[in-house]
Amino acid sequence: MELDLALLLRFGWTAAIVPIVVASLPLPFVGFLHRLVIGFASRGKIIKGNTRFTVPQRFYLHFYVMAVILTTCLLIPTWFYAYAEMTPLSSGLWSYSSITSHLVGGSHIFSFNKAHLPTLGQKYKVWQTVFLLLLVEIQAVRRVHETLNVFHYSPSARMHILGYFTGLFFYAMVPISLASPCIIDVVNFLRGQIAEFIVKGRDRMPDLRIDPPGLVGPLFSLGWCQWVGAAVFFWGWFHQLRCHSILGSLRENKGAEEYIVPYGDWFSYVSCPHYFAEIVIYAGILVASGGNDVTVWLLFIFVVANLSLAAAETHRWYKQKFEDYPRTRRAIIPFIY
C-alpha cells in the first residue's frame, strides 16, 4: 500500500509537470498548448479574454485554509506516533528513565504494540517528517494571514477555475507527499490505539503524560540537512513576507483598479520575487528532506516549472504596461531569467 501511495503521488506530480514543461519549450508546434496552459494558469492582471470560467481571486484563501487543516491533521498524529514509538533518537537530550518507561508500556497513553523496536533509520525518517510538516504549517498559516490581512484583492480580480483546482491539488498534495514515507505506519498506529481503547475502555487506559524533552528533543537531534534546509526555508520565507507586504501596500484603496510598479527588496532584481521566494522555500524543504525522495523532487520541479511560466507572463505584462519598466529586472531568477 505504501508503495502504491508513492507511485500514485509521483504519477500525479509528473502529470502536472509535463504539460507545463512542454508548453514552455520554444517550439512552434507547442504554441497552442502554451496558450492553453497560460489560459488555465492566468489570474489577476494577466488574465485575458472571457472570464466565464473563472472564480474570484480571493478564493486563494481556500488553498491555504485547506493546507492548514490537512497539514495539522497529518502533523499531530505523526508527531505523537514519533513521540510514542520513535524515541530515543539519540542520547543525552532527555531522560532515559522516562523513555524506557514509554517503551515498556509504563504510565503513558501510547502503550500499544511495543514489541517491535524500530531501527534508528526508521526513527530518523519519522522525526524528519514531523520537521517537514512543521515547516509547511508555518508557511500555510502565514499565507492565511496574508490573504486575510495583507492582500486587498480587487472585486474584479479573477482566476481560471482550472487554476483554482490546480491550487487545491497542490496544497493537498504537499503535506501528503512529505508525510508519505510514514503515513501508513501512522494510520496503523492510530488504528492500534483505537483498538486498545475499545478493548480496555477509558478507565483502564493509562493516563496521558507528556514529557516535553521527549516531545521536542528529537527534532534538535536531526542532521545538518534539516537545519541547512530550515535556514534556506526561512531565508525565502522572510523575503516572501516582505515582498507580499510591498504588493499589499500598493493597493491601499481596496477598490482601486490602477496597477503600480512595485519596488523594494527582491523587486530590485526580478518582476516576481514572491515567486522566487516560493522556489527558495521549497528548495529548503527539499534540502530538509535529505534530497533522496523522488516524490519531493517532483514536488519541487512542479513549483519551479509552474511559477517560472507564470512569472514569464507577468514579466511580459509589466513590460507592455509600463514603458519605463526597469530593464535590468528579470522575470523570476535574478540575473538569469
pLDDT digits (tens, 9 = 90+) for 327-337: 999 999 999 99
Burial (CB < 10 A; 0-12, 13-18, 19+), residue 315, is: buried
Q: Looking at residue 8, what is its pLDDT? A: 93
Residue 96: inside a domain: no
- Lowest mean pLDDT: which of 24-38, 125-139, 236-250, 317-331? 24-38
- Lowest mean pLDDT: which of 139-148, 162-171, 294-303? 162-171
**Is the pLDDT score of 1 beyond 70?**
no
Q: How far apart are CA 333 and CA 271, in angstroms?
A: 9
Q: Looking at residue 99, what is its pLDDT? A: 39
Residue 104: inside a domain: no
Q: Looking at residue 159, what is its pLDDT? A: 85
Residue 326: inside a domain: no
Percent of residues, the chain, with pLDDT higher than 70: 80
Query: Quick one: average pLDDT of 59-77?
Result: 95
Q: How far apart are CA 321 and CA 44, in angstroms?
A: 14
Q: Looking at residue 217, what is its pLDDT? A: 86
CB neighbours of 261 closer than 8 A, spacing ≥ 6?
A: 318, 322, 325, 326
* Whether residue 88 has a cis bond before it, omega within 30° of 0: yes
Query: Quick one: average pLDDT of 306-318?
Result: 91
Q: How far apart are CA 336 and CA 203, in angstroms?
A: 65
Q: How far apart are CA 296 and CA 302, in angstroms?
A: 10
Which of the listed ranges 48-62, 77-91, 215-229, 284-298 does the model predict with the highest average pLDDT?
Answer: 284-298
Domain count, the chain: 1
pLDDT digits (tens, 9 = 90+) for 176-221: 999 999 999 999 888 887 787 677 666 665 666 677 777 888 988 8
Q: Looking at residue 49, what is its pLDDT? A: 57
Residue 311 exposure: Cα atoms within 13 Å on the Cβ side: 25
Cβ-contact 207, 237 below 8 angstroms: no
pLDDT digits (tens, 9 = 90+) for 111-162: 444 446 778 888 899 999 999 999 999 999 999 999 999 988 877 788 888 8
26 is in which domain, residue-wise?
1-89+119-321
Question: For residue 274, what is its C-alpha cell?
Answer: 514572491
pLDDT digits (tens, 9 = 90+) for 43-62: 766 666 556 778 888 899 99
**Three-state secondary structure of the chain:** CHHHHHHHHHHHHHHHHHHHHHHHCCCHHHHHHHHHHHHHHCEHHHCCCCCCCEEEHHHHHHHHHHHHHHHHHHHHHHHHHHHHHCCCCCCCCCCHHHHHHHHCCCCCCCCCCCCCCCCHHHHHHHHHHHHHHHHHHHHHHHHHHHHHHCCCCCCCCEEEHHHHHHHHHHHHHHHHHHHCCCHHHHHHHHHHHHHHHHHHCHHHCCCCCCCHHHHHHHHHHCCHHHHHHHHHHHHHHHHHHHHHHHHHHCCCCCCCCCCCCCCCHHHHCECCHHHHHHHHHHHHHHHHCCCCCHHHHHHHHHHHHHHHHHHHHHHHHHHHHCCCCCCCCECCCCCCC
Residue 89 or residue 75, greater confidence: 75
Cβ-contact 78, 118 below 8 angstroms: no
Look up residue 276 and give its amino acid. F
Residue 327: inside a domain: no
Q: Looking at residue 94, what is its pLDDT? A: 39
Query: Quick one: average pLDDT of 274-299?
Result: 96
Residue 332: inside a domain: no
